[in-house]
Amino acid sequence: MVDAARHPKVEILSYSEVERVDGYIGNFRVGINRKPWYVIADNCTGCGDCAVVCPIEVPNTFEMGLAPRKAIDVPHGQAVPLIYSIDMDNCIQCFKCVTACGHRDAIDFGQQPEYVELDVGSIIVATGFESFDPTVIPEYGFGAYPNVITAMELERLDNSAGPTVGRLVRPSDGREPKSMAIIQCVGSRDKRFNEYCSGFCCMYAIKNAILMKQMIPDMEISIFYMDIRTPAKGYEEFYNRAREMGIRFVHGRPSQITEDPLTHNLYVEAEDQELGQVLELETDLVVLSAAAIPRADAGEVSTKLTLSRSPGGFFMEYHPKLRPVDSPTDGIFLAGAAQGPKDIPASVAQGSAAAARAARVLSSDTWEIEPIIASVDENVCVSAKGTKCGLCVPACPYGAISCVTGEPAKITSAKCHGCGGCVAECPHSAISQDHFTDAEIVAQLRALLQDNPEEKIVAFMCHWCSYGGADMAGTSHFEYPADSRGIRVMCSARMDQDFVLEAYRRGAGMVLLSGCHPQDCHYITGQQVAAKRFDRLQQAVERLGISPERFRVEWISAAEGEKYARVITEMSQTLKSLPKEQILSENRGARDSIERRLRRWKASPQMAELMAVAGDDLPGGEELS
């Protein structure tokens, strides 16, 4: 940290918060709130004389509340920069610190917060994690029994720079514990709280156990586990070493911890599965290996930086295998536990990786973006003509569109990732997406439904998930009937209502719209935009007189090849059970309504080209061809 602080090209803005982020890759403008230290950084030498005389003591969160700190203090002894700051919520303004600081004159009660704006090319998010609070598990007694502590508290107690100078003591009576029980998976791997495994607790529990055993050789240490997960290099050997040191491992998840009210000793009750009997272990101290959870402000951060969150709440990576330190937003990278619980070697590796990825941005003059970007036709956009619209703006997961009445909507190409949501949302067909134009897709529909359309299922699939799923079905040899014809778009958000209507106008037997599961969308919120639209579309299709079983919406992931095959099989069976006359008559009945709606196509620029080729069978096309 000190090296980083001294590096000429590294500037540390501590005690500051990101307020907003605008711009795009290579050109971010970051607004930062710098909170006042009430200490002049250049004058402070970090000597600590001020803290010595400060009369106010408050709980020290770094020491897990086990020790106090003063109202003027540093976060901890190794803080960089080592500049003291005043906690104004608790300071009583007695000015003793000013006196103690003396000629150094570093304290300034008049200091104001500062707002700075930085122009940066790339951003790395390495905001870390928090610990789960086990108070919500009443059967473990945390918060009720003094001698039940968390692993973080234990870390402070056995740390030579900690509140007890490294002497492990029991909170209830301050004496050295003769025995200790460590409970794994507290709040992890638990459907009631967090389903994921926190990944590093087995190793740190074993580390603490070995450390304690070295410090207090007679201490009886037991670790209660469901599984011991020590997969990385040297980890299994470490685990074996712990066993050989006499640390007892009990394979059973404790059901409850009770306390002897007089001695404050604890009784841990768990089934020792190897013995097949319930063990009641009396112990001096219990340590809970609490889960790693996302920080409380993760939601705020993800909104400010347009980040997506995985089901556990950690920031989502662009792709777990191919781009693990990239966020979905170009130019913003992730490192460390913010992306998911991981230990130090993995965090450091990710940090290096993120730095390298971020450096690529800085060392380039130009940046290659997706070619499938969207653009607005200023002549068609109604906002340019003074009508209030802006429906495209909320459709964009990246905030790439802005719209002011009186001007056409503007898309920042560098931010556009090509989901196509805005293209489909625009009711006036004023936006088009390169390589996925309306005309191209309508041409595909025309070709696919040329012959015997009533016998066919038109399946719209999103590229990242459902198309992958269909592909998986193929490569895995999951058989399904050959009644479907697929049309690929980048995201389910691109699936326009008009495509569905056109499919029925052309006589399709059934239509399937298939996209990612909500938490999997490659374009963060594209699936949500699509889902809302599909709900309305379902009603619209019914109102046209089309039987509900002829329109289906499914969420299929890239791994669900079996599901894709099953869905097509079901749809095919249903299709075959419907009388052909019924399909024909329903389509006939809906035709006029659909044609009226689709007339607006002729306003769309690329459609003119298509109509020129095949005008007679497109609504409005007969006027053009």
Partner 1 sequence: MIRSSELDRGFMREVMAIPGGENLIKCWSCGTCAATCLVRRYDPTFNPRLILRKAGMGMRQEVLSSREIWLCSACDACYPRCPQEIHISEVMKAIRTIAIAEGYEAPGPFAEVDTALCSGCAVCTRACPYGAIERQPVLVNGEERMVAQVDHTLCMHCGVCVAACPSGSITLEDYANDELIARMGAGGWLEEGSYQQGEATEPRILAFVCQWSMRSDAEWATLDAMQSDSLRIVNLPCSGRVDPGMILLALSQGADGVLVAGCSEGECHYKRGTYLGRSKVALLDTVLAQMGIQPGRVRFVELGAFDRGALPGLIAEMSAALKQPAVTVA
Stretch that binds partner 1, among 198-206, 235-243, 255-263, 388-396 (CB under 8 A): 255-263
Nearer Cβ to partner 1, position 129 or 225? 225
Least Å distance, CB 416 to partner 1, is 42
Query: Contact 390/409 with Cβ under 8 angstroms?
Result: yes
Q: Which of 103, 192, 233, 321 binds partner 1 (CB under 8 A)?
A: 192
The CA-based diameter of the chain, rounded to the nearest angstrom, is 97
Residue 94 has a CB neighbour count (10 Å cut-off) of 13
276 binds partner 1 (CB under 8 A): yes
Least Å distance, CB 191 to partner 1, is 5
Please report, as a single letter, which amino acid is at residue 187.
G
Would you give the end-to-end CA distance of the chain in angstroms? 71
Q: Which of 133, 176, 220, 269 binds partner 1 (CB under 8 A)?
A: 269
Q: Which of 214, 277, 379, 413 binds partner 1 (CB under 8 A)?
A: 277
Q: What are phi and psi of 351, to 5 degrees?
A: -60, -45
Specify which residues 458 forms β-bridges with: 485, 511
Spatial distance between the Cα atoms of 255 and 288, rounded to a whole number of angstroms: 13
Nearer Cβ to partner 1, position 223 or 442? 223
Nearer Cβ to partner 1, position 290 or 511? 290
Least Å distance, CB 130 to partner 1, is 21
Least Å distance, CB 192 to partner 1, is 6
Query: Contact 491/515 with Cβ under 8 angstroms?
Result: yes
Q: Which of 236, 280, 622, 623 binds partner 1 (CB under 8 A)?
A: 280
Residues 130-169 that bind partner 1 (CB under 8 A): 139, 141, 144
Least Å distance, CB 136 to partner 1, is 12
Residue 620 has a CB neighbour count (10 Å cut-off) of 16
477 binds partner 1 (CB under 8 A): no
Specify which residues 130 forms β-bridges with: 293
Stretch that binds partner 1, among 2-10, 67-75, 185-193, 367-375 (CB under 8 A): 185-193
Residue with tokens 């200490």: 39
Spatial distance between the Cα atoms of 256 and 6, rounded to a whole number of angstroms: 51
Least Å distance, CB 288 to partner 1, is 14
Please report, as a single letter, which amino acid is at residue 76.
H
**SS3 of residue 504 by DSSP:** helix
Nearer Cβ to partner 1, position 278 or 359? 278
DSSP secondary structure of 206-249: HHHHHHHHHHSTT-EEEEEES-----STTHHHHHHHHHHTT-EE
CB contact set of 6 (below 8 Å; sequence gap of 6+): none
SS (H, E, C) 243-307: HHCCCEEEECCCCEEEECCCCCCEEEEEEECCCCEEEEEEECEEEEEECEECCCCHHHHHHHCCC
Least Å distance, CB 250 to partner 1, is 10
Stretch that binds partner 1, among 1-9, 90-98, 186-194, 450-458 (CB under 8 A): 186-194
533 binds partner 1 (CB under 8 A): no
Q: Which of 271, 343, 370, 378 binds partner 1 (CB under 8 A)?
A: 271
Specify which residues 401 forms β-bridges with: 411
267 binds partner 1 (CB under 8 A): yes
Least Å distance, CB 142 to partner 1, is 13
CB contact set of 607 (below 8 Å; sequence gap of 6+): 429, 438, 439, 442, 601, 618
Q: Which helix (H) or strand (E) holds 24?
A: strand 16-24
DSSP assignment letter at 291 = P
Per the structure block, which two tokens stand in for 92? 């009583």
SS (H, E, C) 310-378: CCCCCECCCECCCECCECCCCCEEECHHHHCCCCHHHHHHHHHHHHHHHHHHHCCCCCCCCCCCEEECC
Number of residues that bind partner 1 (CB under 8 A): 28
258 binds partner 1 (CB under 8 A): yes
Least Å distance, CB 139 to partner 1, is 6
Residue with tokens 């039940």: 148
In Å, how far from its chain's centre is CA 564? 26
Least Å distance, CB 440 to partner 1, is 46
Q: Which of 248, 253, 264, 597 binds partner 1 (CB under 8 A)?
A: 253
190 binds partner 1 (CB under 8 A): yes
C-alpha torsion angle, residues 244, 248, 253, 254 (rounded to 10): -160
199 binds partner 1 (CB under 8 A): no
Nearer Cβ to partner 1, position 258 or 412? 258
**SS3 of residue 309 by DSSP:** strand
Stretch that binds partner 1, among 246-254, 347-355, 568-576, 591-599 (CB under 8 A): 246-254
189 binds partner 1 (CB under 8 A): yes
Nearer Cβ to partner 1, position 96 or 251? 251
Stretch that binds partner 1, among 275-283, 447-455, 493-501, 607-615 (CB under 8 A): 275-283
Using the Cα atoms of residue 497, residue 390, residue 600 and residue 489 in order, give the sign of their dihedral. Answer: negative
Query: Contact 249/228 with Cβ under 8 angstroms?
Result: yes
254 binds partner 1 (CB under 8 A): yes
185 binds partner 1 (CB under 8 A): yes
Least Å distance, CB 155 to partner 1, is 25
226 binds partner 1 (CB under 8 A): yes
Least Å distance, CB 189 to partner 1, is 6
Nearer Cβ to partner 1, position 258 or 569? 258
Query: Contact 493/526 with Cβ under 8 angstroms?
Result: yes
Nearer Cβ to partner 1, position 28 or 224? 224
255 binds partner 1 (CB under 8 A): yes
Stretch that binds partner 1, among 36-44, 238-246, 264-272, 543-551 (CB under 8 A): 264-272
Residues 32-51 that bind partner 1 (CB under 8 A): none
Stretch that binds partner 1, among 271-279, 410-418, 437-445, 585-593 (CB under 8 A): 271-279
Residues 319-378 that bind partner 1 (CB under 8 A): none
Please report, as a single letter, which amino acid is at residue 462.
C
Contact footprint for partner 1 (CB under 8 A): 139, 141, 144, 185, 189-192, 226, 251-256, 258-261, 267, 269-271, 273, 276-278, 280
